[in-house]
Amino acid sequence: MNLSRRHFLHSSLALGAGLPHLSHAAETSYEICVFNKPLQHMSYGEQAELVAEIGFAGIEGTVRKGGHVEPDKVEKDLPTQVKALQKNGVEMTLMTTDINNADDEIHQRVLKTAADLGITRFRMGSIKYDTEYPITEQLKNIRETFRKLVDFCKPLGIQPLYQNHSGAGRFGAGLWDLKWVLADIDPADAAVAFDIRHATVEGGQSWPTEFQLIRPHFGLVYCKDFVWKDDNKRPENVPLGTGRVEYPRFFSMLKKTDYDGPISLHMEYKDHRKPELLNESIAAVRADMKSIQEIIRKS
């Protein structure tokens, strides 16, 4: 197994500390992090210790309004969080933000602070279409927005990622529009956080086509699951491996590509807004981690 230097160091720390998360390195070549939204009621130190103990290589940390780090406090709080992660041998694999341009001063502060701390990727904010204007004209403007963002981020050494998210009016939901915008942009400069759950919601049986379409632009992969509710009108999140996403098929396809980037586990079927559900959220994260390791191993 060819491990990245970062993954090797992570595994070595686990061995030295006697923690059980060495098994992750032995079971899969993918570096798995966890979306920290359901764990935001914990302190930075508590969260870092938990993430390391479960076996994650890092977190997808929220630096946005209502996130674990508020953007206007980024210079103070983000270094504290990163230090706590490093103390436990894990990292901020991805920073999730509301940023979809580099014009706002607060966006610039967040990106510069993150880059100075060694964070190399961030998820952009969602972009929605305006139904009053032609889609083709809006796509031209979105492509220019991406290019300007790349121009700001590239010298800093931080890469924008855009998530495909299902839903009416969302840019990137069907992936074809996202492919058009990214066609002339080097994936090293801006890429896709490919969400197989949302791709399945939007694509149904055609998701393998969208997978092949956007695969060259993968910068990170999101994993979560869902079922259809209310007579197939509404998707509802469920434990990973128990829903509609064809995970064995997905990972079988992924393993045939040259993708060796991170995977971010999203546990979103517990209400993260309720502190009283924290213990349930932790148990669910543990269960989903076990499920994804098992699926990857068998695929």
Predicted TM-score (pTM) of this structure? 0.90
Section 13-19 average pLDDT:
40
Q: What is the pLDDT of residues 93-120, one digit of tens each?
A: 999 999 999 999 999 999 999 999 999 9
Does position 277 have pLDDT exceeding 50, yes or no?
yes
Report, at the CATH architecture level, how domain 5-224+259-287 is classified. Alpha-Beta Barrel (3.20)
Does position 12 have pLDDT exceeding 70, yes or no?
no
5 contact partners, CB below 8 Å, separation of at least 6: none
Cα(168)–Cα(28) distance, integer angstroms: 36
- Spell out the domain ranges in the chain: 5-224+259-287
Instruction: Could you list the beta-strand ranges (E) of 79-120.
Output: 91-96
- Kindly state the helix (H) or strand (E) to which residue 17 belongs, with its residue range: helix 5-17
Cα(105)–Cα(91) distance, integer angstroms: 26
What's the whole-number average pLDDT of the chain? Answer: 92
Cα(115)–Cα(119) distance, integer angstroms: 5
Does position 176 have pLDDT exceeding 60, yes or no?
yes
Does position 145 have pLDDT exceeding 50, yes or no?
yes
pLDDT at 232: 85
Helix, strand, coil share (%) of the chain residues, nearest 5: 50, 15, 35
Section 245-271 average pLDDT:
97
pLDDT at 22: 39
Section 195-210 average pLDDT:
97
- The CA dihedral of 174, 178, 180, 183, to the nearest 10 degrees, is -140
- Confidence band (pLDDT; 50, 70, 90) for 28? low
Section 173-186 average pLDDT:
97
pLDDT at 80: 98
Does position 13 have pLDDT exceeding 50, yes or no?
no
